[in-house]
Amino acid sequence: MAANPDFIYTPPMSPYLDIVFQDEDIVVLNKSSGLLSVPGRLPEHQDCLQNRVQRVLPTATVVHRLDMATSGIIIMALNKPAHVAISRQFEQRKTKKSYIARVFGHVKEREGSVDLPLICDWPNRPKQKVDHENGKQSLTHYQVLSYSEPNLENASSESGNPKVESTLVELTPVTGRSHQLRVHMLALGHPILGDRLYAREQALTVSERLQLHAKILSLAHPISDELLTFTAPCPFN
């Protein structure tokens, strides 16, 4: 049984495409929260970043993905040599990624790591879970950026003034497992605000969107080998 049987896909239309950088080999985009990276199986799930990009750049191919609910930087290749070179960097963990998240409660340790193996929670897919026997090694570093207290007068689901205690954190994944950041924060006892799969009660209802954003991606250009760093401003704070 699916985790969200009543889910209705309503992808955002503005901005339709947010291109951060483009040359002959790559295109870098700032994906909106709520937009699939690649098409789903159902006809109503065909509107996605991949198809939108391919309407204007037909040779574009997906190298990596962001969860539908996650916003931020994503790169696509525009030719086969670029695709192969970028894919190799991801496989060899030579890329550097940094995410911003607002999580429920106050994270006590100002910085730390979560090293917990993950596996698909098959009966509740697409959810993932910690499994010390069969899970794949998964490592996330985190650093606290700021703490927020409840602000009942000026609370907003899209601002830094939620109705609950929360912490703004920078997350650096060393591995790239599905839902890794979301499950690791849950395992710490601090689910990401607005997470429809893993958050409960106040942590879920306080935000209309998942407060997780891929802010920075650094990698070598697939052809020139020049080190490139791309950023997308965080839509929440």
Instruction: State residue 50 phi and psi, 5-degree precision.
Output: -55, -50
Which amino acid type is present at position 182?
Answer: R
Q: How far apart are CA 237 and CA 211, in angstroms?
A: 9
Instruction: Determine which helix (DSSP H) or strand (DSSP E) holds 218, and give its type and residue range.
Output: strand 212-220
Which amino acid type is present at position 110?
Answer: R
Cis peptide before 222 (omega within 30 of 0): no
Contact 107, 144 (CB under 8 A): yes
Q: Has 195 been annotated as catalytic? A: no
Rounded to 10 degrees, the C-alpha dihedral 74/77/78/84 comes to 180
Q: Collapse the DSSP code of 230 into the 3-class scheme (helix H, G, I; strand E, B; otherwise coil) and give the result.
A: strand
Contact 36, 47 (CB under 8 A): yes
Q: How far apart are CA 213 and CA 49, in angstroms?
A: 16
Instruction: State residue 171 phi and psi, 5-degree precision.
Output: -115, 130
Looking at the DSSP bridge assignments, the partners of residue 230 are 217
Q: Which of 67, 121, 131, 195 is catalytic?
A: 67
Q: In 10 A of CB 216, how many CB atoms? A: 17
Active site residues: 67
